[in-house]
Structure 1
Amino acid sequence: MEIAEVLKLADELIFAKTGEHIDYLQKAILEGTFQGRTYPQIAEATHSSEGHTRDIGSELWQILSKGFGEEITKRNFRAIFKKANFNNYQSTIGSDNITVNNVNICQERARSPTEPQNSQPTPKQLHIDLGDAPEIFTFFDRTSELSTLENWITRDRTRLIALLGISGIGKTTLSLSLIDQIKTQFDYVIYRSLRFSPTLDATLTNLLQIFSQPSEIPQNIETKISQLLDYLRKYRCLIVLDDVQMLFSSGQLAGQYKTGYEDYQLFFKLIAEVCHQSCLILNSWEKPREIARLSKDNHPVRCFELGSLGVAAKEILNSQKLSDEETWETLIDIYQGNPLWLELTATLIRELFGGRVAEFLQCEMPILDESLQFQLSQPFGRLTPAELAVMIHLANQPEPVGVSQFFNKIPFSPSEIVNAVRSLGNRFLLDAIEDEKITLFSLNPVMKQYVQR
């Protein structure tokens, strides 16, 4: 008996009794049971709670018991399936019957999910709605990042991913490139920006219009959430919500929702905890507070912090036709491999230095183009007084320092300082270095220059 045979028969049985094919967690339970794994082990492997895994398992054994004609449990499942005569297993398409060991176990809904009657398999219809997504003209090498995200989504079945990083680092470009790479594995692919801070009610209505007619959309927000979750279970969906930081308050610690937007937190929590077959990606340059906890509670939730382009950023400088290629890595390091920062700086070099990077680097570094200063002003404009004080203190330190070295140096309590440092980390404005079991903090040259200007 091979596991492939077991899964095929189980899929037929489930489809016959429910009209639905075997889902990710049911398959994991069958495979895990076949391999002798416990519920806690299966739950850990699937990033599900043990209780939820047991509940799905219980439902699964009941379905199989009804279809098989005898009681099936986790304990006897392997033995019963091993006794089954797979040579006598028949899927009689024309008569809508499935028979195992001469016992008819399926009725009118028993139609082979892999062999449509008298026809070739119908290609899955793909619905793509990218809304107001920007057009991507160039994409610089992010092969490793794309591979990781694809594995999380298609192999690990991660339900909620936070794609994080400072403004300009390339989150939108990466997520749209990811969509292009894996879109054929989904029924629905959707991109929406939250740059204008829509309420959750407005966002849900916008999403539900993709699946149903406006007249079918309920008025109650709880019912809207429930309806969307139903669609995420029924279809394999990939949804990207960009600019999530616009849901958070200015002048508050990172990830604090604006008044009236707190229900997004519950929505994201449900996406992580409720069983479905879809994935929601959140792009943000502030880390949502609930993500840290959910990613530690065995939920299928992941955080991906997007960093420097590295040497791949040379493509940006080459596209601007800059000279002195031997100095490009120095320029990339100074501007942290941030695609937007480098594009703005490369334009400045081309316009004022004739494209000569070596001549530009003779100036006191870093030079901040006016457009770059504007980009940096956006996250800085959201800081609390304590965060600003920490940034100013770090900008004047020649070496990285530990949190305790802030105490008595700036006019805030230790609790306020600790919370400010953590919040700055969640905004990706600090560099952290582990040194002999002590975490030291500093500002990169661009940040330091911006604070000191």
Structure 2
Amino acid sequence: MDISTVLKLADELVFAKTGKHLEYLEEAILQGTLYGQKYSQIAEDFHLSEGHIRDVACKLWKKLSDVLEENVSKANVRYILEKAKFYNFSTIGNDNLTINNVNICPQSSQPSQATPQTEQTPKPHIDLGDAPEIFSFFDRTPQLTTLETWILQQHSRLIAILGISGIGKTTLSLQLIEQIQHNFNYIIYRSLRFSPTLETTLTNLLQIFAPKSETPQNIETQLSQLINYLRQHRCLIILDDIHTLFSSKQLAGQYQTGYENYHLFFQLITQITHQSCLIVNSWEKPREVVQLKKENNAIHCLLLEGLGEAAKEIIREQELLDEDCWQSLIDRYQGNPLWLEFTANLIKELFAGKVSEFLQCDTLILSESLQAQLDQQFQRLTSSEIAVMIQLANENEPVCLAHLIKKLDLPTSELLNAMQSLGMRLLLDVKECDRTRFFSLNPVLKQYVKNRYTERNN
């Protein structure tokens, strides 16, 4: 029996006996125990004292002992729960299932005599906060289908939508709401563009569920209350721009000082039983998504790429000419919706809408708006990452790691960390041939680096 099944069974048993689910910290301690962690390790993961973890664990073992009518401890909890699962099941009537005399499916075996009525889906509570208004949506049917499958069929608890800035993460998220909103009780969108603390974010979310209640100041209580709401209601929460929580001038995915407890929040969302889904949008891959995804099938990542054929609608809306050249324009700008909009405006203003004439320019043209937009991402890079980007911009073809080690005056460990970080920032194109990986930059990023760094230093 896998760990997720053990956790679910424990929660069902406790709820059936007490009418209350396991608290988030109780479930986290149980999970850590099942993974063989010491109390000190669990305490470190949750930024709590070892003494506090021991106190909560002691109460947890007592609670499980009462429910299972056996002496449960850290050493034997998995054995006892597995024994309960496989050996102590009995069926009463046709519908009721009991474990150690605890009824976990209290349904009457009597057939219902009520006349069937048409069930109406309640209208969800939708709070989009500071979500931008979407005027155009270009075909992302495969991505929407994938997200819908993960959420409604596979019951994913955390989904990361990742992609370079301008690729359409926010637009896709808001379109998804239109498509699946009737499957939820609450739908909430919030942007973290101004880097709110976790306390601020939790307070904001809790006020949506209980606007007249006083929000607790203790972050542990706030987390516990939110998890309870996610259990009681089917919720879809979208947190946009989470890359703003990470530090600039440091390797990717490192939280700013004072924001580290977001790691705990995302960890709890994935590890504790509930019926809701959190979507996070970022142009920088969160480290916990990488780490937790290895051991948790409730996490999914969607890497958003260019629009392809659908991008022609952007050019058509701008009323550009030379339709036979549109695909070349799309390919040159990677099908990125925002990059194409900036470029289409420039073509309209300076080339009278003639795409063929614009494509005759000797170099790839980046409008100032496009470069300013990329500045936001590149200002976050470390000096070693910038050195790698400059080297790749000057290469005529993809290169392997050994080539970069030879060319760059960087310690090997620093170079490897920089490469891994650039990958998490989604700034590298990677291809594999004969079990060797080759790295390059897409044409837009290559031209940007030349404009902003290489030519400036010449």
TM range (shorter): 0.7 to 0.9
Aligned amino acid, residue 330 of structure 2: I
- Contact kept? 1:16, 1:110, Cα under 8 Å: no
Q: How far apart are 1:15 and its partner, in Å?
A: 10
What residue number does 1:349 align with? 347
Residue number among 224, 227, 235 corresponding to 2:225 in the alignment: 227
Residue 193 and residue 246 in structure 1: after superposition, are their counterparts in 2 closer, same or farther (change >3 A)?
A: same
- Contact kept? 1:16, 1:109, Cα under 8 Å: no
What residue number does 1:383 align with? 381
Aligned amino acid, residue 380 of structure 1: F
Residue number among 266, 286, 303 corresponding to 1:268 in the alignment: 266
Q: Work out the CA distance in 1 between the residues paired with 2:167 and 2:410.
A: 32
What residue number does 1:32 align with? none
- Contact kept? 2:231, 2:274, Cα under 8 Å: yes
What residue number does 1:169 align with? 167
Secondary structure of the residue that 2:208 maps to in structure 1?
A: helix
What residue number does 2:427 align with? 429
Q: How far apart are 1:411 and its partner, in Å?
A: 2.2
Residue 283 and residue 346 in structure 1: after superposition, are their counterparts in 2 closer, same or farther (change >3 A)?
A: same
TM-score, normalized by length of structure 2? 0.76
- Contact kept? 1:159, 1:278, Cα under 8 Å: yes
- Contact kept? 1:165, 1:171, Cα under 8 Å: yes
Residue number among 195, 207, 211 corresponding to 1:209 in the alignment: 207
Residue number among 128, 136, 139 corresponding to 2:137 in the alignment: 139
Residue correspondence of structure 1 range 97-176 to structure 2 within 5 A: 121=119, 123-176=121-174
Comparing 123-132 and 381-390, the one that deviates more: 123-132
Q: How far apart are 1:433 and its partner, in Å?
A: 0.7
Q: How far apart are 1:423 and its partner, in Å?
A: 0.6
Q: Work out the CA distance in 1 between the residues paired with 2:113 and 2:361.
A: 69
Residue 310 and residue 20 in structure 1: after superposition, are their counterparts in 2 closer, same or farther (change >3 A)?
A: farther
**Cα RMSD after superposing both structures:** 3.4
- Contact kept? 1:200, 1:264, Cα under 8 Å: yes
What residue number does 1:39 align with? none
Secondary structure of the residue that 1:287 maps to in structure 2?
A: coil
Residue correspondence of structure 1 range 402-421 to structure 2 within 5 A: 402-421=400-419
What residue number does 2:178 align with? 180
- Contact kept? 2:123, 2:182, Cα under 8 Å: no
Aligned amino acid, residue 143 of structure 1: T
Q: How far apart are 1:385 and its partner, in Å?
A: 0.4
Residue 132 and residue 74 in structure 1: after superposition, are their counterparts in 2 closer, same or farther (change >3 A)?
A: same
Q: Work out the CA distance in 1 between the residues paired with 2:413 and 2:14.
A: 55
Report the number of matched residues: 382
TM-score, normalized by length of structure 1? 0.77
Q: Work out the CA distance in 1 between the residues paired with 2:163 and 2:120.
A: 41
Residue 122 and residue 309 in structure 1: after superposition, are their counterparts in 2 closer, same or farther (change >3 A)?
A: closer
Q: How far apart are 1:365 and its partner, in Å?
A: 3.6
What residue number does 1:256 align with? 254
Q: How far apart are 1:19 and its partner, in Å?
A: 6.9
Q: How far apart are 1:76 and its partner, in Å?
A: 6.2
Aligned amino acid, residue 209 of structure 1: Q
- Contact kept? 1:19, 1:109, Cα under 8 Å: no
Q: Work out the CA distance in 2 between the residues paired with 1:318 and 1:221.
A: 50
Aligned amino acid, residue 203 of structure 2: T
Q: Which whole-Å deviations, capped at 9, do the CAs of 1:93-149 have from their partners, x for residues lacking one?
A: xxxxx99xxxxx99x99799x999998646434110000000111000000000001
Secondary structure of the residue that 1:407 maps to in structure 2?
A: helix
Residue number among 281, 284, 287 corresponding to 2:285 in the alignment: 287
Comparing 293-302 and 192-201, the one that deviates more: 293-302
Residue 260 and residue 14 in structure 1: after superposition, are their counterparts in 2 closer, same or farther (change >3 A)?
A: closer
- Contact kept? 1:243, 1:284, Cα under 8 Å: yes
Q: Work out the CA distance in 2 between the residues paired with 1:153 and 1:109.
A: 27
Structure 2 unaligned residues grouped into runs of 5+: 1-12, 22-60, 69-82, 98-102, 452-458
- Contact kept? 2:121, 2:182, Cα under 8 Å: no
Q: Work out the CA distance in 2 between the residues paired with 1:364 and 1:208.
A: 55
Q: Which whole-Å deviations, capped at 9, do the CAs of 1:388-442 have from their partners, x for residues lacking one?
A: 0000000000010111211142221001101101111111111111111111000
